[in-house]
Structure 1
Amino acid sequence: MPCPLLKGMHFAHSLGYKSRNSSTCHTISLTTPGSNEQIQQTHSDVLLKMMISILRAWYHPLEHLVHAVATLEGICETMLFKVKEVEEKNQEILEKIKAILVRVYPGAEENVYPVWMGLADVRSANELTRHFTLSNLLHCLDSNTDKVATYLEALKCRIIHNNDC
């Protein structure tokens, strides 16, 4: 039996939901560099702060995503395990990046982070609304994870390889 969330994601994708609603991520308000050139021009402390803001913005959504996936009818354990793992890894990476920021830039203050307002949709009695919301959350998480990974690679290149990448 396929995971219900995956079924909903496929349905949402078939309707073009992902592409139509890609700007509905709760982190859209964060100003982040989009191109490699912009990333290279961004100071390291600013990149670290951006990563912290992105990761902090996912604390509550991931908490609710775990709960939502756990309560789905016919949930496959692999899906639940993966969502829990993502929640834990997000927190772990956040703590490590915060430690780097404090160590490399003593006194640096974190940026604010956007608050997620989608709890009502995740708890909706309407199954389609829940599936669309969860699908969008996963799409946004994927996008934000790619951003953080890109910024980490840029910092690695800059700091460890002296911009020789």
Structure 2
Amino acid sequence: MSFSLTETFSSRTLLLFLVSNLLLWENAASAPTCIKRDLDTQKSLERLVKLAAFVSNIIHMQAGEIFTEFDKQYAHGKRYNDRVPDICPTDFFETPVNKEQVLKSNPEVLLQLVYKLLYSWADPLHHLVNEISIMQGDPYSVLYKTRQMKVKIEDLTEGIKIILSKIGEKANESYPAWSGRTALQSSNEDVRCFTFYNLFRCMLKDSHRIKTFLEVLKYRIIHENNC
């Protein structure tokens, strides 16, 4: 029997590796990221950012798999893509709108954006997992993959928070509460189904942004060796 990368990859192992590597940062625990670093600190930073970017790429791939599967099983023929989309849980964030803005963003700012995007999905994903189990049809595959993705997002969120704390940055966890729970629990099956569809679409969009921000951070730290 063969398994996909997202099924065999252990995000818990990744987080443990992330934390263990952060021990190498002790000499620069509260130092700004833009100061000149010694070789060991620079190399450990490169490994951490590579790891975070790798995890984010897995999350993005899995978000794509889930959206495609849900669309095929529950949204086929319903023309959901033609409807005016509901607001996403992270639409109120100010984020770079193009590649040029991303490249000009301060690394600390990008890390905070990544954390905000990840953290803001905690509540929606919790309710997604709870509610999708009672969907009509056979939701097991979508539910299983959503649970996997939820764990990876939680692990990456904690990893980014640790990185922020080690560079003297405090992770901001003060955001407006998610307001989409009522639609997700609607007695109208079409309303519920469209809400799921929209949330999976939003997750795919945000996972792409997270992946992009971390790839830019990786490039700048490894190839530019500065901020």
Same fold flag (TM > 0.5): yes
Point out the more displaced range, 58-67 or 3-12.
3-12
Alignment map for 1:93-112 (pairs within 5 Å): 93-104=156-167, 106-110=168-172, 112=174
CA drift of 1:102 comes to 1.2
Counterparts of 2:97 and 2:185 in 1: how far apart (Å)?
Answer: 33
Structure 2, unpaired ranges of 5+: 1-68
Picking from 95, 100, 118, the partner of 1:37 is 100
1:69: Cα distance to partner?
Answer: 1.3
Describe the shift of the 1:111–1:46 C-alpha distance in structure 2 as closer, same or farther (beyond 3 A).
farther
- Cα 1:12/1:145, change in 2 over 3 Å: farther
| Alignment correspondent of 2:6 | none
Pair 119,6 (structure 1): closer, same or farther in 2 beyond 3 Å: farther
CA distance in 2 between counterparts of 1:10 and 1:52 reads: 34
Matching residue of 2:17:
none
In angstroms, what is the RMSD of aligned CA positions?
Answer: 2.2
Q: 1:147 aligns with which of 200, 206, 209?
A: 209
Larger radius of gyration: 2
The Cα of 1:5 is off from its aligned counterpart by 6.6
Identical aligned residues as a percent: 31
Q: Which amino acid aligns with 1:159?
A: I
Secondary structure at the residue paired with 1:112?
A: coil
Q: Deviations over 1:92-124 (max 9, x none)?
A: 1101111111112x1434263342101011110
Q: TM-score, normalised by structure 2?
A: 0.64
Aligned length: 158
Which of 24, 27, 31 lines up with 2:90 in the alignment? 27
Residue in 2 that maps onto 1:61 = 124
Shift of 1:62: 0.2
* Residue 80 of structure 1, CA deviation: 1.2
Compared with structure 1, are the counterparts of its residues 12 and 28 closer, same or farther at alpha carbon in structure 2 (3 Å cutoff)? farther
4+ runs of 1 displaced by more than 6 Å? none
TM-score (norm 1): 0.86
Indicate which of 76, 90, 106 corresponds to 1:10: 76
Structure 1 residue ranges without an equivalent (≥5): none
| Structure 1 counterpart of 2:73, one-letter code | K
Q: Contact 2:119/2:157 (CA < 8 Å) preserved in 1? A: yes
User: Counterpart in 2 of 1:78?
Assistant: 141
Distance 1:14 1:59, change over 3 A: closer
Q: CA deviation at 1:79?
A: 1.3
Report whether the alignment pairs 1:89 with 2:149: no
Alpha-carbon distance in 2 for matches of 1:111, 1:124: 28
Q: Deviations over 1:16-36 (max 9, x none)?
A: 12xx31x61121110000211
Question: Are positions 1:136 and 2:179 aligned together?
Answer: no
